[in-house]
C-alpha cells in the first residue's frame, strides 16, 4: 500500500454520517426540561467529546447540584431521546458519495475500521446498512477514555492487526485529530472550511480520499 498504509480508520459522526442535529435536539430537550440555557454555540463545544463530558458542559455551573447517580440518569435520559431519532434512520441516510468511497477503498485492498467514542455506533451502522461492512469497530462500549485520548484508535488498529504507523485516521473534530496524532497515526482532516493544522492532509469531501489512496499524497 502507499507509503506502508494498510488501513483507514474512520470517525463515525461527521465523517461517515451526520447525526449532529439529533444530538443537538436531544441535549436541547434535556436542557429545556432542566431550565438550563442551551443553544448552537454551546452545542459546538460538545463535538468529539463523550456523553458524560458533554453533560458536564451542558450543566455548567449547575453541575455540582447533581449527584453522580443523578448525572448518570440524566445522561441516559438524553441518550434515550437521541435513540428515538436514530430509530428513524435508514440506509438512505448514508450518502451515495460516502457509500461509493467506502466501496472503492475496500476494492483497493485497504482494511477499514470505525473509531468512535459513541456507544451507539453499532446501532447507527446497522441503521445505515453498514452493520457488517467494516473489518473492525472500536466504539464507546469498548474503551474507558474518550478522545482526545488515542485509546479508541489504538484499539481499532489492534483489532485490524496493524501498527499505528500503518493506518490513517479520518476525522472532522479537533479532539479526534489530536487523539490520532497522539496515537502515532497519520491524519486526514475532513473540514469544510480551512486546513486543519493538526492533520497531515485536509480534504473537503470524503470522496477526496479516493484520489489520496492509490496516489502518493501520504
User: Catalytic site residues?
Assistant: 11, 13
- Measured in whole angstroms, how far is the alpha carbon of residue 157 from the centre of its chain? 15
- Cα maximum dimension of the chain: 55
Distances (CA, A) of 108 to 1, 8, 16, 141, 204: 9, 12, 19, 30, 21
Residues 6+ apart with CB under 8 A from 209: 8, 101, 105, 170, 188, 203
* The C-alpha cell that represents 73 in the structure block: 440518569
Amino acid at each position: 500500500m502507499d507509503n506502508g498504509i494498510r488501513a483507514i480508520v474512520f470517525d463515525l459522526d461527521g465523517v461517515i454520517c451526520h447525526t449532529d442535529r439529533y444530538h443537538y435536539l436531544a441535549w436541547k430537550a434535556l436542557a429545556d426540561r432542566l431550565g438550563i440555557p442551551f443553544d448552537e454555540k454551546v452545542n459546538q463545544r460538545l463535538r468529539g467529546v463523550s456523553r458524560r463530558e458533554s453533560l458536564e458542559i451542558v450543566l455548567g455551573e449547575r453541575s455540582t447540584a447533581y449527584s453522580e447517580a443523578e448525572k448518570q440518569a440524566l445522561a441516559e435520559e438524553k441518550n434515550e431521546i437521541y435513540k428515538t431519532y436514530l430509530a428513524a434512520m435508514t440506509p438512505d441516510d448514508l450518502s451515495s458519495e460516502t457509500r461509493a468511497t467506502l466501496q472503492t477503498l475496500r476494492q483497493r485492498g485497504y482494511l477499514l475500521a470505525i473509531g468512535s467514542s459513541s456507544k451507539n455506533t453499532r446501532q447507527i451502522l446497522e441503521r445505515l446498512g453498514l452493520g457488517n461492512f467494516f473489518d473492525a469497530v472500536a466504539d464507546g462500549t469498548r474503551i474507558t477514555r474518550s478522545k482526545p485520548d488515542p485509546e479508541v484508535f489504538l484499539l481499532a488498529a489492534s483489532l485490524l492487526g496493524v501498527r499505528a504507523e500503518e493506518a490513517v485516521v479520518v476525522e472532522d473534530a479537533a479532539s479526534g485529530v489530536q487523539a490520532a496524532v497522539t496515537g502515532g497515526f497519520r491524519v486526514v482532516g475532513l473540514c469544510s472550511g480551512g486546513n486543519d493544522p493538526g492533520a497531515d492532509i485536509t480534504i473537503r469531501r470524503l470522496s477526496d480520499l479516493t484520489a489520496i489512496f492509490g496516489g502518493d499524497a501520504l
